[in-house]
Amino acid sequence: MIGELAALATAACWSVGSLLFAYVTEQVGAFALNQFRITLAALILTVLLLVTGLARTVPALGDPAMGWLVLSGLVGLVIGDSGYFGSLARLGPRVTTLLSALTPPITAVLAWLFLDEKLGRFGMAGMALTMAGVVWVILDRPATAMPAGHRLQGILLGILSAICQAVGLILARRGMGEDLDPLVAVAIRMVAAALVIWAVAVVLRRLAAPARILRDPGVRLAALGATLLGPLLGVWLSLVAVRHAGTAVAATLMSTVPILILPLVVLVRKEPVGGRAVLGAVLAVAGVALLFVRRG
């Protein structure tokens, strides 16, 4: 029950966080946002480890667990989230979170290949249903005109993000094992991601990118709130869910974001949501639900 509740709480955090992240990316761009929120999250998590005493449980640099978690942070947080924010900037939160529903089927396949979790007929049917729901929505004509290639770029970035998130989740599960505290795992992933993204910023000469967020009070508040809900509370809850509920079950429940976000985009962003969007989201999440049934 703890794992299932943590997964649903993760979905709620990511739904609200996606709206805030969408607003920030529209103001300052995807790279500045990712650089800001990973750095802030890494600092907060480091302080938490020191205050709680969990810093003593951090694996040694040569420990295989450390290697899995560092790699998980690079794939899931640096590459995956950069793709997610790029998709947000082009497609908005509704379609981008729907594309993220591809993460559970990809996760299920990887868990079958590398974690020996079963994948049967229900799993195959669930993946097909999820794909159908996603394709049903992305093939719909957008309500507003977009620059040439803009929509395709957003879709490709969203798919890249889904793949990287799935790989990152599997790597994190391997790194945590059965004993490592999820908070420690999150901190390792975030610190590793922060070091890499600042190295990238040096190469690209974009060290001052986060300053664009700090200059605007509204953007700063949205970025802070999204960071607390996303890479801090949300990611920690997701790892709690993976440990206690299993990789596939946790991914299933966390995939309800495309449905949870529909009323939010109507109320907050005043975006029209038609029947096709609702049906596509329901189909996608129903498909992911079959990934849970397949374990029976």
pLDDT digit string (tens) for 17-67?
A: 989 999 999 888 888 888 998 999 899 999 999 999 999 999 988 899 999
pLDDT value of position 111 = 77
User: Does residue 281 sit within a domain?
Assistant: no
Q: Indicate the angle between helix axes 81-91 and 30-52, nearest 10 degrees.
A: 140
Q: Average pLDDT, whole number, for the chain? A: 85
User: Does residue 282 sit within a domain?
Assistant: no
Residue 30: give the domain boundaries. Answer: 2-118+145-254
User: Does residue 211 sit within a domain?
Assistant: yes
What's the CA dihedral at 34, 40, 41, 45 to 10 degrees?
Answer: 160
- Cα gap 155→80, rounded to integer Å: 13
220, 37 Cβ separation under 8 angstroms: no
User: Does residue 14 sit within a domain?
Assistant: yes
98, 280 Cβ separation under 8 angstroms: yes
Question: For the ranges 21-30, 259-268, 269-278, which has the lowest average pLDDT?
Answer: 269-278
User: Does residue 203 sit within a domain?
Assistant: yes
User: Does residue 277 sit within a domain?
Assistant: no
Cα–Cα distance list, 177 to 170, 242, 243, 252, 263 (Å): 11, 11, 8, 20, 37
pLDDT value of position 148 = 62
User: Does residue 85 sit within a domain?
Assistant: yes
Tally of domains within the chain: 1
Closest C-alpha to 58, from 68, 47, 70, 66: 66
Given a cut of 70, whether residue 294 has pLDDT beyond it is no
pLDDT value of position 296 = 45
Given a cut of 90, whether residue 195 has pLDDT beyond it is yes
What average pLDDT does this structure show over 250-277?
82
User: Does residue 271 sit within a domain?
Assistant: no
